[in-house]
Amino acid sequence: MARRVLHTDSEYGILQSSPVYLALREAIITGMFSPGARLIEEDIAAQLGTSRTPVREALRLLAAHSGLVEIVANKGAVVHQLTQRQLVEVSETRICLEKGSADLYCESGVDQEALLTQLGQIAAESRLVAVRDDPDSPGIRKLNAEFHLTVVALADNSMMVELYRQILDKLWFAWNYAPIDMNRFNATDAQHEELIDVLRKRDCASALAILDRHSRILVDGVRGQLSRVSQRTGLADLYARIRDDYSPLAKEVMPRDASH
């Protein structure tokens, strides 16, 4: 089954062909730049081997559309620093959308077997990546985002999917504040499997209870750790990968081959 690139910027047209924008966005949401870090155009352009113009435009758009960047007087562009309250709020918004989607699916009677199968495939792939790489790797976080976006897609409600897309960047921020060790991964993986099982049975009460417990893992992790170490090395490699591999980019943010 074909994989689709997980991005939240498909609505911005030309950005689909802007590897500078995509590289900076991914560097920020995966913790390569820490909250509050200055984003110096000259330094970034030198790392990427580009002129300052595409870097400046990417920073402007990141500030205008995603809120990942702030333009501060006499300082320039900096990575937006979410407060603890904002991090908790985005986590709470996420769980409201997921629980609402699960409720709609369970009550609708719509056949979503393809998406349920997809959820199982994502969970299985996550286990392989966790063992092969690291449970705290960007790959696991992307698969986790894909899993939960697919849960929302079960509702067959395009507005709910779009709303979830809009908070994905901030969810990435929240996930960076809650590092994943193997124990936490095993706990969330078990909940993913349990959730798939009860969704197949359309057991709404159990699904909502699991999603509630699941969200608490993230919220507790966010509250327990409010800073990450900045790691600027690797930006050039990230840019090269995006430049080479993300063309043509997916036209929509959708989980795998889901059509909802």
Written as one letter, the residue type at 186 is N
Burial class (CB in 10 A: 0-12, 13-18, 19+), 200: middle
User: What is the C-alpha to C-alpha distance for residues 55 and 49, in angstroms, rounded to an integer?
Assistant: 11
pLDDT tens for 78-118 read: 998 877 787 778 888 888 999 999 999 999 989 999 999 99
The CATH code for residues 10-34+36-81+229-245 is 1.10.10.10
Asked whether the predicted pLDDT for residue 147 surpasses 70, the reply is yes
Task: Tell me which DSSP letter residue 58 carries.
Answer: H
Residue 84 CB-density burial (10 A; 0-12 exposed, 13-18 middle, 19+ buried): exposed
Q: What CATH number belongs to 84-224? A: 1.20.120.530
pLDDT band at 157 (very low <50, low <70, confident <90, very high): very high
Q: How far apart (Å, rounded) are the C-alpha atoms in residues 188 and 60?
A: 36
- Chain position carrying tokens 């990968």: 241
pLDDT band for position 234 (cuts 50, 70, 90): low
Domain boundaries, the chain: 10-34+36-81+229-245, 84-224
pTM exceeding the 0.85 threshold for the entire prediction: no
Q: Dihedral of CA 92/93/98/103: which sign?
A: positive
